[in-house]
Amino acid sequence: MLQTMLVIGGAGGVGKAVVERARDCGLHVTAADLQDQADTDAQFYVQLDIINGAAISAVMKGGHWDHVVVAAGVNEAGLGRRSLAHLMEVNYLGPMDALWHWARQERSYVPLDHGKTRHFVVVSSNSAHIPRSKSVGYCASKAALSMGVRAFARNANPGRTIWGVEPGWVSGTPMSDGVLEWLERNDPGTPPHRIPGDRTLKPEDLAWVIVDGILDDRQYYNGCMLRLDGGEI
């Protein structure tokens, strides 16, 4: 039986790259995003607002997802003025709500064929550790997300693995493009990151890490937040 994957935030950026990588690897993928229509390579698409608790509950209960990747997120610097409450809702509370519902699925406690487990993966940020004066809410919400995943994973039942990634600058995403536009308008000449050399990620790089970690069934990732930022200083 084909393994199923739900990618929340799968209409663009890192989420879309995860959809493409997972589909190419033979998973049965559903993309979910805020847009009412999206050009994705997923087999299915659903409209979903991650801060809508009832919608999250319905999607999570209705799918019995083997694997879930949460790549949704907002940053106040690139996407207009956002309140701290909104940033916490999108970047922390929504993903944790999805994790809670996924963990309650009866199927999540039963190992897949050949002893493999089900994976829940979040895309956090190295901003969980690096304070940025123009992204206070973003840093705080990603720090909460990283700690929430690590704490939740301590009680992961057999058959489930819960982990995440903390990328630095990821080029060519709606968020990074928005940050560049914001800097150009408000603080021209300021570099968007401090990653030495040519070590910035592309969405497909991060997708490989996520999907390959799932398919290789790296159970030792449970509780880990993999910091992938090229040694940002």
Structure tokens at 181: 């536009």
CA distance 119 to 65: 9
CA distance 168 to 158: 31
Q: What's the pLDDT at 96?
A: 97
Q: Cα dist. 109→96, 170, 210, 231 in Å? A: 18, 34, 21, 37
Structure tokens at 102: 């996924």
Structure tokens at 207: 């997708």
What is the sign, positive or negative, of the torsion defined by CA atoms of 215, 7, 205, 193? negative
Per-residue pLDDT in tens (0 to 9) along the chain, 233 residues: 689 999 999 999 999 999 999 999 999 999 999 988 788 888 899 999 999 999 999 999 888 899 999 999 988 764 455 688 889 999 999 999 999 999 888 665 566 766 689 999 999 999 999 988 778 889 999 999 999 999 999 998 888 999 999 998 888 887 877 776 766 777 677 777 777 777 888 999 999 999 999 999 999 999 999 999 988 87
Given this structure, which CATH class describes domain 4-228? alpha beta
Q: What's the pLDDT at 78?
A: 46
Domain positions in the chain: 4-228
Q: What's the pLDDT at 56?
A: 95
* 94 in Cβ contact with 145 (< 8 Å): no
Burial class of residue 34 in the structure, from the number of CB atoms within 10 Å of its CB (0-12 exposed, 13-18 middle, 19+ buried): middle
CA distance 89 to 190: 29
What is the sign, positive or negative, of the torsion defined by CA atoms of 24, 25, 27, 31? negative
Three-state SS annotation for the chain: CCCEEEEECCCCHHHHHHHHHHHHCCCEEEEEECCCCCCCCCCEEEECCCCCHHHHHHHHHHHCCCEEEECCCCCCCCCCCCCHHHHHHHHHHHHHHHHHHHHCCHHHHCCCHHHCCEEEEEECCHHHCCCCCCCHHHHHHHHHHHHHHHHHHCCCCCCEEEEEEEECCECCCHHHHHHHHHHHHHCCCCCCCCCCCCCCECHHHHHHHHHHHHHCCCHHHCCCEEEECCCCC
As beta bridge partners, residue 78 has: none
Q: What's the pLDDT at 110?
A: 63
